[in-house]
């Protein structure tokens, strides 16, 4: 039984890996560790090597057809996964009717996103399979994997860091994991935009003032300013995200144009009045 396992948790993470300590250490020293202590999350890190049937505890071998590096063999991976699934069935007192998602971390997978994090947060159990060496025998992947996921377009030495990245992003969408429920909602990507800049005390630091509007107490004005900042930032660094936000929020631009037109007329009227007064 793993130190972090809690049978009443809202979400159970199971990680199949050759480096279980790496997963456990990462878990303890993060917000996830607190959620595990509170009993909201449960982590089981399973050492694939414990399931090898080879005499020398071997878990890898050369690729058929030649090529660089070693591959993880099917048998220990399959048996480790079966042991985890049996554990889930014992806990839930069921016998095979639930379809637990098995996520293989690989640079050839679909790219991880906030949308997938939210979707996976609704599962009760998730199994992460971390590959090492040059990969895993295709036959066991075909047999057990439901989702192939990458965390971005670069190559890492193994699936452990990606699994931790995914668990972090998923867990913060599980109710109770974050202290403040709101903070999971109002952050970057919630609405498909990057977050606006934030400021805290002091009001003046190294001669730089906090933007005036944030001190005004005018909530509507603050929200408007934040949205403007989010839009400008997103347009600058992630134009494709900006375009898709603009596409689905056309009414925002209509409202904004109307508001600007009203302001323009008001200023024009005031200028005319002033000119008349000066003329007579």
CA angle 234–115–11, rounded 5-degree value: 135
Residue for token pair 């890190």: 45
Q: Which two tokens stand for residue 134?
A: 């040059």
Q: Collapsing DSSP states into helix, strand and coil, what is residue 95?
A: coil
CB of 22 to ligand 6GU, least distance (A): 13
* Binding-site member from 20, 76, 107, 192 for ligand 6GU (CB under 6 A): 107
Q: Are strands 125-130 and 71-72 parallel, antiparallel or unpaired?
A: unpaired
* Binding-site member from 68, 93, 154, 220 for ligand 6GU (CB under 6 A): 154
Q: Are 130 and 66 in contact (CB under 8 A)?
A: no
Q: Collapsing DSSP states into helix, strand and coil, what is residue 256?
A: helix
Binding mask 56-75 for ligand 6GU (x = CB under 6 A): --------------------
* Binding-site member from 105, 136, 170, 231 for ligand 6GU (CB under 6 A): 105
* Binding-site member from 156, 178, 213, 222 for ligand 6GU (CB under 6 A): 156
Which residue, 40, 20, 43, is CA-closest to 167?
43
Cβ proximity to ligand 6GU, 64 vs 154, nearer residue: 154
Residue 135 interacting with ligand 6GU (CB under 6 A): no
Residue 26 interacting with ligand 6GU (CB under 6 A): no
* Binding-site member from 151, 164, 171, 231 for ligand 6GU (CB under 6 A): 151
Q: Could you tell me which residues are beta bridge partners of residue 45?
A: 15
Backbone region of residue 93 per phi and psi (left: phi > 0; alpha: psi in -120 to 50; beta: other values): left
CB of 158 to ligand 6GU, least distance (A): 6
Residue 162 interacting with ligand 6GU (CB under 6 A): yes
C-alpha span between 59 and 71 (Å, rounded): 8
* Binding-site member from 26, 76, 159, 192 for ligand 6GU (CB under 6 A): 159
């Amino acid at each position: 039984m793993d130190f972090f396992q809690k049978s009443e948790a809202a979400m159970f993470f199971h990680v199949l890996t050759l480096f279980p300590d790496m997963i456990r250490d990462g878990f303890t020293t993060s917000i996830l560790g607190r959620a595990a202590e509170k009993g909201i999350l449960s982590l089981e890190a399973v050492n694939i090597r414990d399931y090898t049937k080879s005499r020398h505890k071997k878990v890898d071998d050369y690729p058929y057809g030649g090529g660089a590096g070693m591959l993880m063999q099917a048998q220990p991976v399959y048996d480790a996964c079966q042991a985890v699934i049996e554990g889930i069935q014992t806990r839930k007192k069921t016998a095979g009717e639930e379809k637990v998602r098995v996520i293989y971390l690989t640079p050839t997978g679909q790219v991880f996103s906030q949308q997938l994090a939210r979707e996976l947060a609704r599962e009760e159990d998730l199994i992460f399979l971390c590959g090492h060496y040059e990969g895993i025998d295709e036959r066991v992947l075909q047999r057990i994997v439901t989702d192939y996921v990458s965390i971005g377009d670069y190559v890492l030495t193994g699936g452990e860091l990606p699994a931790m990245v995914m668990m972090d992003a998923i867990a913060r969408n599980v109710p109770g994991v974050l202290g403040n429920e709101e903070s999971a909602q109002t952050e970057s990507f919630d609405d498909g935009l990057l977050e606006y800049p934030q400021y805290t005390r002091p009001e003046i630091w190294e001669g730089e003032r906090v933007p005036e509007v944030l001190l005004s107490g005018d909530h509507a004005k603050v929200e408007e300013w934040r949205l403007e900042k989010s839009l400008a930032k997103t347009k600058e660094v992630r134009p494709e995200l900006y375009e898709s936000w603009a596409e689905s929020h056309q009414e925002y631009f209509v409202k904004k144009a109307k508001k600007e037109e009203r302001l323009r007329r008001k200023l024009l009227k005031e200028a005319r009045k002033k000119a008349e007064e000066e003329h007579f």
